[in-house]
Structure 1
Amino acid sequence: MNITTLRGVLLCCSLVTLLFTVGCQRQQEQITLRMAHTLDQEHVVHKAMVYMAERLEHYSAGQMHIQIYSGGQLGSERELIELLQIGSLALTKVSASPLEGFVPKMQVFSVPYVFRDSAHLWAVLNGAIGQDLLNSMQKARLHGLGYYDAGSRSFYTTNKAVHQPADLKGLKFRVPNSQTAVQMVQTLGGAATPVDWGELYTALQQGVVDGAENNPPSFYLSRHYELSKYYSLDEHTSVPDVILMSLPVWESLNTQQQGWVQQAMNDSVRYQRELWQEASDDALAKVKAAGVEVIYPDKAAFAAAVKPLHQSLQGTEVGDLMAEIALIQAETAGASND
């Protein structure tokens, strides 16, 4: 059985089982929610999901369960979002970047240098703007449960070090399925090529792309460091991971059950943020030990280079949102990175 056929069988089984368990919850008092993502099981995001499943079983006294499919078994991030929309998958984790194709305001996270630091980012995510963005996903038949820390994204390359924006010229970079990410790379002089995460190792290996951009844990656990020997920590974007639930599945639960799911989510957010910094530091140490040259460029030069992108967004919905975020930046100046 090939991978495509296996995936089809899994999806069919997932749909049938999910609809059966949710539909029969009053008779059996057992609900199994299928959750899928594209990351390695060693990733802190997967570990946080496992913790969420444990907390849900605790709060529901064993009435509710989460079954996790990791490593892209059920599809790419966009495919998983579409499965949520039709109710054949209950939960997923996706980067905020591909969500802009469903909720345009989410593209604010793919605009470079919108956030000053971690304290600024989390002041936004934990405040009214963050909640409004989660709520706005309902029109796409998605229910936003919360955000996981995904650190900052930086460029890594196979054959040429990136010390300044000019070094991107002529290089092909993999970007997520985000038009804003494409515009960012183009503004910096590179050529942007959307590639699914699961296909990126091969794309780097075959020279389809010259590099990519992501956070340290993803760079390490994907083993992209085996092919990309330069990692330039320009930290251009802070794109959080978003935990989504199918709106049809969410609405099939009663108020108490919804409360259990949200409580479990909130617990997992705190747990994941505790793990994140340690995982990031550990990933950097390991890629350095493997021979990767980690570069600390002048981020001000990169921020200056993308000013035209910021200016092009003035007067748009995203530009207005950036202005609101800038006000929060002023209010949080000097705050610690909690």
Structure 2
Amino acid sequence: MNYKIILIALLFTGFLSCKKSDNSKVLYLGHTLPQTHPVHKGILEFQKALELKSNGTLKVQIFPDAQLGSEREVLELLQIGSVAATKVSAATLSNFVPEYHILGIPYLFRDKEHQFNILEGDIGKSILAKGSKFWLRGLCYYDAGSRSFYTSKKAIRTPKDLEGLKIRVMNNQMAINMVNSMGGSATPLAYGELYTAIQQGVVDGAENNPPSFVSSNHYEISKYYTLDQHSSVPDVLLIGTKYWESLSKQEQIWVQEAADESAQAQKVFWNESVEECMAIAKKAGVEVIIPEKSLFAEKSKSVVEDFVKEYPEMADIVKQIKK
């Protein structure tokens, strides 16, 4: 069903109103991931922590599996105040808040420790705050691992192997430029269409993290997984500013604390899921390839150079991160 039809129906029934009859407030949170995903488990921790801190006066109702629409559609619902919160990829969010483009720069982070030192420090918090002027207030980052290439017919061992291959990417300019710089042909495509597109040869492969590779069942039709780990784009837990401003100062504190606690719990879920999903993929006959990452990093340098030229005001932030 079209999300706009759902929205209209919900608005007319008062389903998305902030208050319930028992005077508790309900935070409606929609996202696109399945309930088995480690990010959804992190959101469940947010739900649990917020209800506990508020003694049940703030409740969270979660709509997973894209019930309220795609990531972009739910972001638009947040902006007009019809939904309170969501979880989206920073790549999708960059189409609304330019500063999130920074987090998609290939090989920006040296390792996981470096990444979360940045995300949970001053730089990461400042980027979360940038969304407020677009009615999208960032609460915290969730670990979405590192994205790597997977293909159906041909293994990728060096960037040269990408030549002539159509690789599905998110509809994000950074991702498009990165794949093209490495020699592939970037093909933006809706995630829900990807299984069939690989199966029918519309695209030759895609790029994503292990939990998404397995939860989407793409491992069934893509038997080569190259762990080049070209980008580590986090997920972001967001709250619409219209809902945020309806909360008292104390309620805002509870929401932020619950988000921060859920982010730490989600990291554990993520690591467990990566181990489990890699085991599933290998058992299903997927060849896991560990390439020389520096070859891919070298090819993608032009993406960073072009980004700094296009967004000179963000050049200093990139330098700070690399330091």
TM-score by length of structure 1 reads 0.91
1:192-222 per-position Cα deviation (integer Å, ceiling 9, x unaligned): 1111222221222222211111110110111
1:121-163 per-position Cα deviation (integer Å, ceiling 9, x unaligned): 0111011110110000011111100000111100001111000
Structure 2: tracts of 5 or more residues without a match: none
Task: Give the partner amino acid of 1:58.
Answer: L
- Percent identity reads 49
Match of 2:117 among 120, 123, 137: 123
Instruction: Find the counterpart in structure 1 of residue 318 from structure 2.
Output: 322
Instruction: Find the counterpart in structure 2 of residue 12 from structure 1.
Output: 8
Choose 27-36 or 65-74, whichever is displaced more.
27-36
Aligned partners of 1:105 and 1:317 also within 8 Å:
no
1:4-51 per-position Cα deviation (integer Å, ceiling 9, x unaligned): 2xx44532354454653x2x57x7421111111111110011111112
* 2:150 aligned counterpart, secondary structure: strand
Instruction: Find the counterpart in structure 1 of residue 287 from structure 2.
Output: 293
Aligned partners of 2:152 and 2:222 also within 8 Å:
yes
Instruction: Find the counterpart in structure 2 of residue 256 from structure 1.
Output: 250
Instruction: Find the counterpart in structure 1 of residue 98 from structure 2.
Output: 104
Structure 1: tracts of 5 or more residues without a match: 328-338
Shift in Å, 1:249: 0.7
Aligned partners of 2:79 and 2:135 also within 8 Å:
yes
Task: Give the partner amino acid of 2:191.
Answer: W
Match status 1:70 vs 2:64: yes
CA RMSD, 1 decimal = 1.5
Match status 1:141 vs 2:135: yes
Q: Write the distance in 1 (CA, Å) between the matches of 2:253 and 2:124.
A: 19
Task: Give the partner amino acid of 1:198.
Answer: G
Structural mapping, 1:1-338, within 5 Å: 3-4=1-2, 7-15=3-11, 17=14, 20=17, 22=18, 24=19, 28-315=22-309, 316-327=312-323
The structure-2 alpha-carbon separation of the partners of 1:259 and 1:18, relative to structure 1 and needing over 3 Å to count, comes to: farther
Aligned partners of 2:224 and 2:288 also within 8 Å:
yes
Q: Write the distance in 2 (CA, Å) between the matches of 1:194 and 1:31.
A: 39
* 1:163 aligned counterpart, secondary structure: coil
Q: Write the distance in 2 (CA, Å) between the matches of 1:290 and 1:270.
A: 31
1:260-301 per-position Cα deviation (integer Å, ceiling 9, x unaligned): 211211121111011111111111111000011110000011
Equivalences, count: 320
Task: Give the partner amino acid of 2:290.
Answer: Y
Aligned partners of 2:104 and 2:174 also within 8 Å:
yes
Task: Give the partner amino acid of 1:185.
Answer: V
Task: Give the partner amino acid of 2:164.
Answer: G
Aligned partners of 1:76 and 1:196 also within 8 Å:
no
Shift in Å, 1:321: 2.0
Q: Write the distance in 1 (CA, Å) between the matches of 2:56 and 2:287.
A: 48
1:68-102 per-position Cα deviation (integer Å, ceiling 9, x unaligned): 11111111111111111111111111010011111
Instruction: Find the counterpart in structure 2 of residue 333 from structure 1.
Output: none
Q: Write the distance in 2 (CA, Å) between the matches of 1:63 and 1:199.
A: 40
